[in-house]
Amino acid sequence: MSIRKWYLIHKWSSLVCTAFLLMLCLTGLPLIFHEEIEHLSGVVEAPIMAENTPNASMDAVADAARKQRPQEVIRFMFWEQDEHPNVTLVSMAKSMDASPDDSNIVLVDSRTAKVLDAPPPDRGFMYVMLKLHIDMFAGLPGMLFLGFMGLLFAVAIISGIVLYHPFMRRLDFGTVRREKQARLKWLDIHNLLGVATLVWALVVGITGTINTLSQIVIMVWQGDQMADMIAPYKGLPPPVKLGSLQGSIDTAKKAVPDMHVSFVAFPGSMFSSPHHYTVFLKGNTPVTSRLLRPALIDAQTAQLTDTREMPWYVKTLLLSQPLHFGDYGGLPLKVIWTLLDLITIVVLGSGLYLWLKRHQHVEQRIQHLQQAHAETL
C-alpha cells in the first residue's frame, strides 16, 4: 500500500474518532482514581473491631437489607474486601428485571448484620463521568458506538506507525524543530508523543473496545454455558420459598475451596436462574483475582448443581477491564496511567490542531490564488 493511502487512512480514522477519544480520555481521568475519590467523598465504612471477629449469617444480612427497603428485592450481594473491608454491599431494586440504573445499595456490616448506610442513588460527578465513558447515556447503542471509535483509534495508531518511519528518515529520533514555524513544531511533538505512547494507547484502545461488548458477552454466556448448567431445571416452576443463602455460600466454598466469594446473584436476577443462587468466586493471585468462577446452588436445597470455569470470551472481558483502567497495580500504576492519559490528550489535541491549521493554510492559498487570478483580469 502506498504512503499516500496510509496517510489518508491515518487522517480520516483520526478525524472521525478524535472528539470522542478526547471525551473518553477526559472522563477516564477521574475514573482511574474512583476508589480514592469514593473514600474522600465520605463513603461509610465498617467500624473497627477485633481482627478475628466472625461474620454474621448472610441470611441475617439479607434480612437487615430487606427491612431497610421492604418494597424492594435483593438482586446481588457484593464483597470488596480490599476497598470496603467487612462490608456487604446489597444491590436492591423494585423488581428483578429492573434497569441497572434503578438499583439501590444498602451497606451492611458483615459481622453484626447492622445497616451502615442506605445512600440514595449516586447521580453526581462520578456517575456522570462513568456514564459518559461507558455509553454516553445511550445504552447498548452508545457502548457499541464507542467501541467502533476505539477500533478507529487502533487503526489511526497503526497507520501512524507506518507513516512515522518515512517521515523520520531525515531526522534524528525525538527531533522537535523549534526554530521552524509553530505547525512543524507541533507536528514533531505529535509524532514523538504518539510513538512514545503507542503501546499503551493500543492496549487501552483495544481493551476499551472489548469492554463495550460486555453486554453482548454476558448474553452469549447466558445462552451458552449458563443455559447448559441450568438445563435440568428447564420447565420447572420457580420455587415458592427459598432456602438458606448462607448454606448456599458454604456449599460453593466447599465446591471451590481454593477461591473466595466475590458476589452472589439471587434467583431470577441477570446472572442466575429462578432456581439458583449463583455464587461467583475469584482467586487469590493478581491474575486469578480478576477471573470469576460461577457455582450454581439450588436455592431450595442449598445443594451444588454445577460449577465450571468461565469460557475464554468471558475471561478475555474480565482481564481487559482492570487493564483498561490500570487498577490492578495500586496507586503507582494509576499515576502512570494518568500521565499516559494526559500525554494522549496532547497527542489528540495536537492532531486536531494540525488538521485545522492545514485546512486554514489550504483556504488561504486558494484565496491568494483567486486574488492573483482576479488581478490578472
Who's near 289: CB < 8 A, 6+ residues apart?
A: 282, 283
Lowest mean pLDDT among 19-23, 120-124, 138-142, 151-155: 120-124
How many angstroms separate the CA atoms of 308 and 216, rounded? 20
Provide the pLDDT for residue 93.
95
| 133 contacts 29 by C-beta, under 8 angstroms | no
Question: What pLDDT was estimated at residue 371?
Answer: 53
**Helices 245-255 and 58-68, packing angle to 10 deg:** 140
Q: In this predicted structure, what is the pLDDT of residue 25?
A: 92
Of the pLDDT bands very low, low, confident and very high (cuts 50, 70, 90), residue 362 is very low
Which H/E stretch holds residue 239?
A: none
pLDDT at residue 152 greater than cutoff 80: yes
Is residue 303 helix, strand or coil?
coil
- Reading the block at residue 229, the C-alpha cell is 448448567
As a whole number of angstroms, the distance between CA 129 and CA 142 comes to: 14
SS3 at position 116: strand
**DSSP codes of every residue in 309-362:** PPPHHHHHHHHHHHHHHT-SSHHHHHHHHHHHHHHHHHHHHHHHHHHHHHHHHH
Q: Is the pLDDT of residue 237 over 50?
A: yes
Neighbours of 211 (CB within 10 A): 21
The structural domains of the chain, with segments of one domain joined by +, span 3-21+130-211+330-371, 45-118
Interval 298-350: pLDDT, tens: 999 999 999 999 999 999 999 888 888 777 667 788 888 899 999 999 888 88
Of the given ranges (61-70, 175-184, 204-213, 245-254), which has the lowest mean pLDDT?
Answer: 175-184
Say whether pLDDT at 192 is over 80. Answer: no
Across 9-14, average pLDDT = 86
Helix or strand run (H / E) with residue 304:
strand 304-307
Residue 280 CA to residue 293 CA, distance in Å, equals 5
Whether 296 and 229 have beta carbons less than 8 Å apart is answered as yes
